[in-house]
Structure 1
């Protein structure tokens, strides 16, 4: 699956992406260490990235989790990642998480990508509810949630513990597939 946007493509993770994922993660380690510590830990060198990518390709194929790469069109460098994770097929729900390289922030790339993935999840997968969980000080992530039509629901108390930090409260944003909502009949 490929979404072809003006400045970049959005693609399902592929085996051949291991080196590119490693390059992206290592060059953005400072950006990823707080809210993507596992992704960072699992991609600190090419060997680890090969294992990570193999697992993510398998998870994509079995519909357990979907990892997308954002690639520059010109040289195919990975500039970001978007996860559709914590999928509950019975409840038809999931969570989105995203990160982008420092040199590509504030260009609307993640917002465009999230909109495409939301539409794909709703229309192709039959997902009814998507969540984004962000820390209130992560202003770019909060802005993406709001720009993409996610509504703030509540504060999740002591929800996430970054490495070497106290546990943080996180903000829950949700978006519902409007086609899946049952209209209320008034007689």
Structure 2
């Protein structure tokens, strides 16, 4: 993952690429979220506070600041050059060589292995290029599709974080998964 002045892309394979968000992506990212709003809203609370393009512009501004501070990479997932979802490597802690991955994908692209393949590529970069030792993923316990990704990639479920998130009027538990560099390399 080469860090450019304000922009990078990272090729996963022939079909998939990660692209750092830029200000000009706000409209398309908002449209993608709108197309999948009801679908992703079940498990992701930000949909209720993202009501117009300006909300997405603010998110991208924050994402770019996080990138400049080397604390997060918020990226679009491009499948055959079309934006289909988002992935982030966030809460980057270089002192402890750890980070967390988050993601969501358009309902029209679920079930094609896109998130798993992209996550695998991001893990390769996290461990081999960024020098991280640990990466974690959290998901609402009832989000079976999201939980299947770390399970498929060899993460260990490390526990349940009780009432981690207040989502749509109730507290939701999160499943916590982690993988170490030594586990990834031996995979």
Taking structure 1 as the reference length, the TM-score comes to 0.85
Specify the SS of the correspondent of 1:99. strand
Which residue is 2:100 aligned to? Answer: 95
Which residue is 2:34 aligned to? Answer: 26
CA RMSD of aligned residues (A): 2.1
How far 1:56 moved relative to its partner? 0.9
**Does the aligned pair in 2 maintain the 1:133–1:172 contact within 8 Å?**
yes
Q: Which digits, 9 at most, give the CA deviation of each residue in 1:4-30, with x for residues without a partner?
A: 533332212222211111111111111
**Does the aligned pair in 2 maintain the 1:69–1:82 contact within 8 Å?**
yes
Q: Which digits, 9 at most, give the CA deviation of each residue in 1:26-73, with x for residues without a partner?
A: 1111123233222x2454322222222122122112212111101232
Runs of 4+ off more than 6 Å: none
**Does the aligned pair in 1 maintain the 2:154–2:184 contact within 8 Å?**
no
**Does the aligned pair in 2 maintain the 1:87–1:95 contact within 8 Å?**
yes
How far 1:180 moved relative to its partner? 10
Give, in whole Å, the separation in 2 of the partners of 1:4 and 1:157.
34
Structure whose CA Rg is larger: 1
- Number of residues paired by the alignment? 177
Specify the SS of the correspondent of 1:60. helix
Structure 1 regions of 5+ residues with no counterpart? 182-187
Distance 1:147 1:180, change over 3 A: closer
Give, in whole Å, the separation in 2 of the partners of 1:29 and 1:35.
11
